[in-house]
Amino acid sequence: GDSVTQMEGPVTLSEEAFLTINCTYTATGYPSLFWYVQYPGEGLQLLLKATKADDKGSNKGFEATYRKETTSFHLEKGSVQVSDSAVYFCALQGRGRRALTFGSGTRLQVQP
């Protein structure tokens, strides 16, 4: 079945550092890929998405590129801020499916 694997956290960075959170997936066909973010005390929010190979999703300075050859969708940001501290979830939606399959989440802590 479909699955998503994320790097374990917590990831602790200093403000303005470069961020990478790895995400790889297993799915039949070509799924849509997503990054969701959960800020403390809040619900899940869609951060960015990509629906086909080589698409790059971007939002709020975060980027991720759909890499079919490596089945990856790594999240990157050039310069993190304290306000980026949250839990980040990689997810996929299989073709023809409605349910999202999530990874286990990666907690990011950004220190001033």
Q: Which residues bind other proteins (CB under 8 A)?
A: 4, 32, 36, 42-46, 49, 51, 89, 91, 98-105
Assign 81 to helix, strand or coil.
Answer: coil
Residues 6 or more apart in contact with residue 23 via CB below 8 angstroms: 4, 5, 6, 7, 33, 35, 64, 72, 73, 74, 75, 90, 103
Query: Please, what is the minimum distance in Å from the beta carbon of residue 50 to other proteins?
Result: 13
**Min separation Cβ 3 and other proteins, Å:** 11
CA–chain centroid gap for 59, Å, is: 12
Least spacing, CB of residue 79 vs other proteins, in Å: 26
Nearer to other proteins by C-beta: 18 or 39? Answer: 39
Pick between residue 79 and residue 104 the one whose CB is nearest to other proteins: 104
